[in-house]
Amino acid sequence: MIKKLLKFLFTDNILKKDIDFLKKIVLFRDISERCLAKLALIVFKKTYLAGEKIYEIYHEANVVYIIKSGQVKLSAVSGGKIVEAENFFGEISLIGNRKHNCSAVALKDSELYLIYRSKFDDMSSSNNKAGLIVMRNLASIFAKRLKYSEI
């Protein structure tokens, strides 16, 4: 009983839920719980209404977006796709000063977690291992995409 009360008083349940959510994201696979906690503390939570533009094609890419709930439509010149909850987009921004290669519109009311590149860079410079793992995950995602588009 007392243990429960103490746990309730001291542990941050919202943070814990955020960590559990981030664990499911492919980009953050194999990252330690502590780093996920750091990430969860730097995310900016924003709600987009259905039909709201998130970003437009060729705009400066500074933020990676993770979908907590809802649905987002990405459309590029070559085609489009619909991204569901527990997925992410705008990952090109993690690599460097790039521009978005598609535009994004919320199809339903969506709650997104935004991670700004320089915040992510700060995190990975204080924890190289986590940064390396994220980059490896990103590389394997890009490699998979290349495999289907070429050869």
Partner 1 sequence: MKDGKQYRGKTVAESSKNKVFIVMVMIFLVVCLFLYFARAILMPFLIAAFVAYLIFPLVLKIQSYGYRRWVGVAVIAVILAAVLAAFLIIFIPLLISEIEKFKVNYSDYYKCFSDYLDILRRKVEIAIPVIKSYNISDIIIERTRDFILSEVQKIPAYLMSVFSVFSIIVLIPMLVLFMLLGADKSINAALNFLPSKYIETLFSVIYKMDAILGKFIRGQIIEVFFVGGMSVIFLSAFGVNFALIIGIIAGFANMIPYLGPLVGLVLALTVGIIQFQTFAVAVKIVVVYAAIQFLDNNLVQPFVIGYNLNLGPVAMIFAILAGGQIFGLLGMVFAIPVMAVFKTIFIMLIQKYNSVEI
CB nearer to partner 1: pick between 96 and 151: 96
Residue type, 7: K
Give which of 113, 111, 110, 138 is closest to 124, Cα–Cα: 138
**Nearest CB to partner 1, comparing residues 25 and 104:** 104
* CB 141 to partner 1: min, Å: 21
From the list 93, 87, 139, the residue with the least C-alpha distance to 113 is: 87
Cα separation, 38 vs 126, in Å, equals 11
Closest distance to partner 1 from the beta carbon of 4 (Å):
15
Q: Is 8 or 148 the residue whose CB approaches partner 1 more closely?
A: 8
Task: Give residues in contact with partner 1 (CB under 8 A).
Answer: 9-12, 15-16, 34, 37-38, 41, 44-48, 52-56, 58-63, 99, 114, 116, 118-119
Nearer to partner 1, 16 or 29 (CB): 16
Query: Shortest gap between Cβ of 143 and partner 1 (angstroms)?
Result: 27
The Cα–Cα gap between 108 and 33 comes to 30
Candidates 30, 24, 70, 29; CA nearest to 51 is 70
Rounded to an integer, what distance in angstroms lies between the CA atom of residue 110 and that of residue 97?
Answer: 26
Work out how close the CB of 52 gets to partner 1 at its nearest, in angstroms, rounded to a whole number.
Answer: 6
Please, what is the minimum distance in Å from the beta carbon of residue 54 to partner 1? 6
Cα end-to-end span (Å), the chain: 61
CB closer to partner 1 out of 34 and 145: 34
